Amino acid sequence: MSDFLDIDQAIEAPGLRLVLSVGVPGPWGEAAKSIFDAKQIPYARVRQQPGLPNEALERWTQQSGAPVAVYEKEAPRSSWEGILLLAERLSPTPRLVPTGAQERSTFFGLAHELCGEWGFGWCRRLMLLHQGMSIPELPASIRDIMERLAFKYGYDPKSAEAAPERVGEILELFGRRLEAQQDRGSRFLLGDALTALDIYWATFATLIEPLPPEQCAISKAMRAQYTLAPAQRGLHSAALLEHRDFIYREYLKLPLEL
């Protein structure tokens, strides 16, 4: 994989450009990478600095976060659904979204529970912000970043305090689904083949426990922040982490390129 492009380079580059946060295993970004990788769609990585204003990126894409997928001269896509559907269009095989109406509606409902507003990733992010915002004497530069992220992602203490219960509900939902699928002889969260739902789970599971250091090279402090307390993991966490490992081992790229 090539180095990151700066924004000016990315604007002039052809093909698919994927804006990613540098140095962190952000689940939305890792999911986008993994979906394009699973479909063998080439892309250039574009640098985004987490928590900073990223003015040049905002001028180009009308927002300052990551991930963002920009294909040729088309409008930027920053939602998880938009990035997924772009990948499906660019490379219809292997198909990662079911075609039947019933399975498709189930797929998008479950994917929203991981990726969407008030979903697993959203709530874990609120919990992480709550940890930072609760430190009384943060350095001014760190406080500025935390406040910018808090505003951007709708942080308030009340919602952050409610987030752990929601996280537990979602882990229970996916744990029971995985168990039911295994009972019927399937290795996957939906149907009998890999879908993007498995990829979303594998990448978002970093918010329970990051992959081992040799596969995910992050600092000890970041690893501790991302790790969910054992009391909040629920009954199915071991099986869910085993499913993450299976999906990475069989279908995704390791080690992570951050």
| Secondary structure (H, E, C), the chain | CCCCECHHHHHHCCCEEEEEECCCCCHHHHHHHHHHHHCCCCCEEEEECCCCCCHHHHHHHCCCCCCEEEECCCCCECCHHHHHHHHHHHCCCCCCCCCCHHHHHHHHHHHHHHHCCCCHHHHHHHHHHHHHHCCCCCCHHHHHHHHHHHHHCCCCHHHHHHHHHHHHHHHHHHHHHHHHHHHCCCCCCCCCCCCHHHHHHHHHHHHCCCCCCCCCCCCHHHHHHHCCCHHHCCCCHHHHHHHHHHHHHHHCCCCCCC
pLDDT over threshold 80, residue 2? no
Quick one: pLDDT at residue 139?
82
Predicted confidence (pLDDT) at residue 1 exceeds the cutoff of 50:
no
β-bridge partners, 69: 18, 77
Q: What is the pLDDT of residue 134?
A: 79
Asked if the model's pLDDT at residue 253 lies above 70, the reply is yes
What rounded mean pLDDT belongs to the chain?
Answer: 95
What does the alpha-carbon distance between residue 145 and residue 158 come to, in Å, rounded to a whole number? 20
Query: pLDDT over 90 for what percent of the chain?
Result: 86
- Convert the pLDDT of each residue in 183-221 to its tens digit: 999 999 999 999 999 999 999 999 999 999 999 999 999
245, amino acid identity: D
Weakest-pLDDT range from 21-30, 124-133, 178-187: 124-133
**Has residue 145 got a pLDDT over 70?**
yes
Q: Which two tokens stand for residue 155?
A: 């942080």
Cis peptide before 255 (omega within 30 of 0): yes
Long-range contacts formed by 222-228: CB under 8 A, 24+ apart: 222/24, 225/128, 225/131, 226/25, 226/128, 228/124, 228/167
Mean pLDDT of 235-254: 97
pLDDT of 12 > 60? The answer is: yes
pLDDT given at position 31:
98
The model's pLDDT over 49-63, given as tens digits with 9 standing for 90+, comes to 988 899 999 999 999
Give the pLDDT band (50/70/90) at residue 117: very high
Mean pLDDT value of segment 39-54 = 94
C-beta atoms surrounding 232 within 10 Å: 15
